[in-house]
Amino acid sequence: MKILVVGSGGREHTMVWKLSQSPRKPQIFCAPGNAGIESLAACLPIKADDITALKDFVIKEQVDLTVVGPEVPLANGIVDEFRKAKLKIFGPTKNAARLESSKSFSKDVMALAKIPTARAKSFEKMDEALAYVEAHELPVVIKADGLAQGKGVIIAATREQAKQAIVDSMEHAVFGQAGQRVLIEQFLDGEELTIMAFTDGKAVVPMLPAQDHKRVGDGDTGLNTGGMGAYCPAPLGTPALRVQITREVLQPIVSAMSRMGSPFQGVLYAGIMVVKGVPYVLEFNARMGDPETQVVLPLLKSDLIDVIEAVVEHRLDQFMVEWHDDCAVCVVMTSDGYPGSYETGKAIHGLADAEPLATVFHAGTVRKHADIVTAGGRVLGVTGRGNTIAEAQQAAYRQVRKISFDGQHYRTDIAHRALRRSS
């Protein structure tokens, strides 16, 4: 069996790693891949958003299944193009992926489906947005409407910060096209939870609950990032809460998309804020999270190929997805300056010095002669496993301390909320 994984980050490395463990022994390709993926798959010099080149490769190589990692090719319609050519592909269509690519569209569907979420209003004119925020309660959340790599959300404590965020997004285009429309949203004070689910457009199978750490600094301080680490299963996601989220969030949004003629097939990501025990949706993503994938997929007991095929072939309701009983913690190592500007090309040392209970997933790396060097803001995701969150955290940090590169940064408190809960 031949499989193509589209993407080049830590999420895609984890997908390739998990697919490579299948007893079906697939031949895996990855476009474009990274220095960690190349030991498990043939990396192709094709960009993740070059849909025509990807389709041509799949046809020429007679690839049996394509698995899409990142959001941009999904938002650009890769699934639609592949389906037109009768090619098997895992992911939502362009219309279904609007749940992620347009926050305004997502809010409209949530209103239709009566899904609990923060009050919000969208604006295309900067003067109207500035006038609206003048009377809004504080803190207030300013969001770029489009895809901004997890960085398009500003929580403003003062009116001045809110106005600056609007000007930065709409006039200075710090998020490019994604920020030409902004959402001004009610601030929800609670604790975040990620619930991802496999869905074939009808059946919904939630994965284990995870918690991401968005802020760049210890104690959840500093700027929002694409994610500094994650852990799974998150104790916040109790069995009762997971049943409630499936019933009140996941199933209603999947049903609503089907009624609208855009059935959602693939992985639906729900970013949830739990406020006094009540789950509110912060955002939907149309693919697996990064770095949540690095803690959720290692705990998947079922063959990932079997799960994906059940989704693609609309028979998920007949498939039992099984999970391991242990825990996983991922610590993201970044370049100095991330999520702002940073330098790349720094040699990474200690990758061969393995910790038996940890796996290193590459995010932003390339091979340069004999060295593996940094090539992005988020460089590595180090995932530890253990019987408890504390054991998994210790394994992850033991591995992190063996690795070094110039200007490295990482948080030292990943999973702190879970550990507080259990102490």
CB atoms < 10 A from the CB of 264, how many?
A: 28
Confidence of residue 135 (pLDDT cuts 50, 70, 90): confident
The CA-atom distances, in angstroms, between 117 and each of 108, 205, 262 are 11, 22, 21
Q: What pLDDT band is residue 152 in, cutting at 50, 70 and 90?
A: confident
* Dihedral angle of Cα 408, 412, 413, 415, to the nearest 10 degrees: 70
- Determine the average pLDDT of the residues in 334-347: 96
In angstroms, the CA 260 to CA 413 distance is 43
Residue with tokens 């507080």: 420
DSSP-derived secondary structure for 102-151: -HHHHHHHHHHTT--B--EEEESSHHHHHHHHHTS-SSEEEEESS--TT-
- Mean pLDDT for 146-171 is 88
Beta strands in 8-118 (DSSP E): 27-32, 42-43, 65-68, 89-90
Indicate the pLDDT class of residue 423, thresholds 50, 70 and 90.
low
Q: Is the pLDDT of residue 180 over 80?
A: yes
- Is the torsion defined by CA of 22, 89, 145, 171 positive or negative? positive
Report the pLDDT value the prediction gives residue 422, as an integer from 0 to 100. Answer: 73
Q: What are phi and psi of 409, to 5 degrees?
A: -140, 140
Phi/psi of residue 179, nearest 5 degrees: -100, 10
Predicted confidence band of residue 415 (pLDDT cuts 50, 70, 90) = very high
193 CB-near residues (< 8 Å, 6+ apart): 209, 210, 211, 234, 236, 237, 241, 272, 273, 274, 279
Exposed / middle / buried, residue 322 (Cβ in 10 Å: 0-12, 13-18, 19+): exposed
Q: What share of the chain is helix, strand, coil (3-state, %, to 5)?
A: 30, 30, 40
Region 366-377 average pLDDT: 96
HSE-CB for 185 with a 13 A CA cutoff: 23
Q: What is the pLDDT of residue 160?
A: 94
pTM: 0.94
CA-based nearest residue to 375, from 400, 412, 411, 338? 338
Query: How large a percentage of the chain has pLDDT more than 70?
Result: 100
- Indicate whether 268 pLDDT > 70: yes
124 contacts 180 by C-beta, under 8 angstroms: yes
Mean pLDDT to the nearest integer, 286-301? 98
Question: What is the Cα–Cα distance from 88 to 379, expressed in whole angstroms?
Answer: 31
- Quickly tell me which residue has 């993740």 as its tokens: 48
Q: Give pLDDT, residue 177.
A: 85
Q: What is the pLDDT of residue 315?
A: 97
What does the DSSP assignment read for 350-398?
-TTS--TTEEEEESSEEEETTEEEE-SSEEEEEEEEESSHHHHHHHHHH
Task: For residue 94, name the pLDDT band (cuts at 50, 70, 90).
Answer: very high
Specify the higher pLDDT residue, 247 or 150: 247
Q: Return the pLDDT at 178.
A: 79
Domains of the chain: 2-91 (3.40.50.20), 125-180 (3.30.1490.20), 191-318 (3.30.470.20), 327-422 (3.90.600.10)
**342 pLDDT band (50/70/90 cuts)?**
very high
Dist CA 58 CA 337 (whole Å): 38
Percent of the chain's residues with pLDDT above 90: 91
Question: At 319, is the secondary structure helix, strand, or coil?
Answer: coil
Q: Which neighbouring-strand residues pair with 197?
A: 206, 268
